[in-house]
Amino acid sequence: MAKLQKSIDKRNALVKATIELVNNNGFHATPMSKIAKMANVSPATIYLYFENKQDLVNQTYIDVKAEYTKYAFANYDPTTPIEEGFKMIWKRIADFKLKESEHAMFLAQCDNTPMIDEESRQEGIKHLQPLLDLWERGKKEGIIKPISDYLLYAYAINPLSFLMMTQKRGAFTLDKTHLEEAYQSAWSSIKMCQ
C-alpha cells in the first residue's frame, strides 16, 4: 500500500514536470532527463510509468483534459435552465483557464501542434458531452442558435484560450470587468437573436 502510494506520487510528479517543461520549451525541446530531474527520479524510472516519451505526453494530455472537464462541470446540474447553466459552465471554464493557466496553456499547445496522437486527442474530447447536451437542449428551446457545435464552441468557449494566452504573455490582464464583458460577448454570439 505504501509502495503503491509512492508510485502514484511519482507518476504525478512526472506529469507535473512534463506540463511545466513542455509549456516553457515545447515537446521536442524537453529532454526526458530534465523531466526526470524535475520530478526527482532517475530517467530510467520514467519508463516504469510510461512506455516512452510520446506515451508520457499523451497520458499527460488526457490527464489534464480530464481535469479540465471535471472542473468545468463540477457543480453543473443538467436540469438547470439554459442560460443559467451556460453561464455556470462558462464561468467555471474561464476560472480554470485563468487560474490553472499552466494546465490550460499545456492544452492549447497540444491542440495546436502535432505533438499528440490522434487517439489521445479523441479520448480527450469525450468528456465535453454535458456542454453539448446543454446546447442541444438550448437549440430545442429556441434559446441557442441552431448551428454546429463546432461553431458554438469556437465562439463561446475557445476565445478564453486566446485570452488566457494573451494574459500569460503579459500583454494584458483579465480583470472582473473584462471577464463580464467576455461573458456577454460569448453569450451574444450563440444566443438566438430575439
Partner DNA sequence: CATGAATGAGGATTCATTCAT
Partner DNA sequence: TATGAATGAATCCTCATTCAT
| Positions that interact with DNA (CB under 7 A) | 2-3, 6-7, 10, 28-33, 41-48, 52-54
Q: For its own copies, give the closer residue by CB, 79 or 193.
A: 193
**Distance (Å, whole) CA 23 – CA 100:** 13
Residue 158 found at the interface with its own copies (CB under 8 A): yes
Residue 114 found at the interface with its own copies (CB under 8 A): yes
**Distance (Å, whole) CA 161 – CA 62:** 18
* Residues 42-81: x where in contact with its own copies by CB under 8 A, - otherwise, as a string: ----------------------------------------
Which of its own copies, DNA, none sits in contact with 38, Cβ below 5 to 8 A by type? none
The values of phi and psi at residue 130, to 5°, are: -55, -35
**Distance (Å, whole) CA 107 – CA 23:** 9
Q: For its own copies, give the closer residue by CB, 24 or 40.
A: 24
Residue 166 found at the interface with its own copies (CB under 8 A): yes
Helix (H) or strand (E) holding 77: none
Q: Least distance in Å: CB of 121 to its own copies?
A: 8
- CA dist list (Å): 194 to 21, 140, 144, 190: 48, 15, 11, 12
Q: For DNA, give the closer residue by CB, 36 or 72.
A: 36
Angle, helices 159-168 vs 176-190, to 10°: value is 160
Which of DNA, its own copies, none sits in contact with 192, Cβ below 5 to 8 A by type? none
**Distance (Å, whole) CA 129 – CA 81:** 17
Among 29, 48, 74, 132, binds its own copies (CB under 8 A): 29
Residue 189 found at the interface with its own copies (CB under 8 A): yes
**Distance (Å, whole) CA 87 – CA 84:** 5
Which of its own copies, DNA, none sits in contact with 142, Cβ below 5 to 8 A by type? none
**Distance (Å, whole) CA 161 – CA 164:** 5
- CA dist list (Å): 55 to 15, 117, 118: 11, 9, 12
Contact footprint for its own copies (CB under 8 A): 23-29, 108-109, 111-115, 121, 145, 147-148, 150-151, 153-155, 158-160, 162-163, 165-166, 169, 171-172, 178, 181-182, 184-186, 188-190, 193
